[in-house]
Amino acid sequence: MDTANTVEILKECSAMLEGHFLLSSGRHSDRYFQCARLLQYPQKAEAALRPLVQRLLAFRNEGKLKFDAVVGPALGGIVVAYEIGRQLGVPAFWTERDETGAMALRRGFEVSAGMNILIAEDVVTTGKSSGESIKVLEMAGAKVSALCCIVDRIAPGVELELPFYSAVKLEAANWEAAECPLCKKKLPVLKPGSRKISV
């Protein structure tokens, strides 16, 4: 897999940050991938995701993958799902949190029984948001066939139950908050993500 171009695009957009960060998963890290900085440039987003889309199309043509639509967990997955759906030529929509904080299909979005769905995210560390979206979609009768993302930064020990495809895999240390060496050094922690969690 040729990921060099995607890495260069992320660097061009200053989408790879160094420091002390609280991730949406609740874990801490010394590196944060702010894909919103990439996604603000449509042509760069298209180029960064093109190799991933080409692999997804190849797997479909080989009979290894089915997809009728792409769904992105809000907030980070919305633009990613749109761009992947656009390149694949299938509908794209999103799940989002309702007033109780639970992930839901809203805004009139619907899935039909047996519909094959790709879940699309910007960054995957634990797959928590995807897991919540999968439950919602499966309860509505759809079948989630795979998970895809821009940056794979899967935490050690995390195993995903679905086929998983990324534009690029990048290493980044991450820890449970209680074990974070940056906290022990009393370095300020930043929370650049959108999920409401305490710093």
The answer to whether residue 81 sits within a structural domain is yes
Measured over the CA atoms of residue 17, residue 19, residue 74 and residue 151, the dihedral's sign is positive
What is the reported pLDDT for 53?
A: 97
What is the reported pLDDT for 196?
A: 57
What is the reported pLDDT for 87?
A: 98
The answer to whether residue 190 sits within a structural domain is no
The answer to whether residue 195 sits within a structural domain is no
Q: What angle do CA 89, 129, 142 make, to 5 degrees?
A: 50
Domain interval for residue 93: 4-184
The answer to whether residue 180 sits within a structural domain is yes
Token pair 């879940």 is at which residue?
119
**DSSP letter (8 states) at residue 13:** T
What is the reported pLDDT for 199?
A: 47
What is the reported pLDDT for 193?
A: 65
The answer to whether residue 140 sits within a structural domain is yes
The answer to whether residue 189 sits within a structural domain is no
What is the reported pLDDT for 133?
A: 94
What is the reported pLDDT for 180?
A: 95
CB of 112 closer than 8 Å to CB of 85: no
The answer to whether residue 114 sits within a structural domain is yes
How do the pLDDT tens digits run along the chain, 199 residues long? 457 788 899 989 999 888 999 988 788 999 888 999 999 999 999 999 999 999 999 999 999 999 999 999 999 999 999 999 999 999 999 999 999 999 999 999 999 999 999 999 999 988 888 999 999 999 999 999 999 999 998 877 888 889 999 999 988 888 899 999 999 999 999 987 655 555 4
Q: Return the CATH number at 170.
A: 3.40.50.2020
CB of 177 closer than 8 Å to CB of 183: yes
The answer to whether residue 47 sits within a structural domain is yes
Ordered strands of the 28-33 beta sheet: 16-22, 28-33, 174-175
What is the reported pLDDT for 91?
A: 97
Domain count, the chain: 1
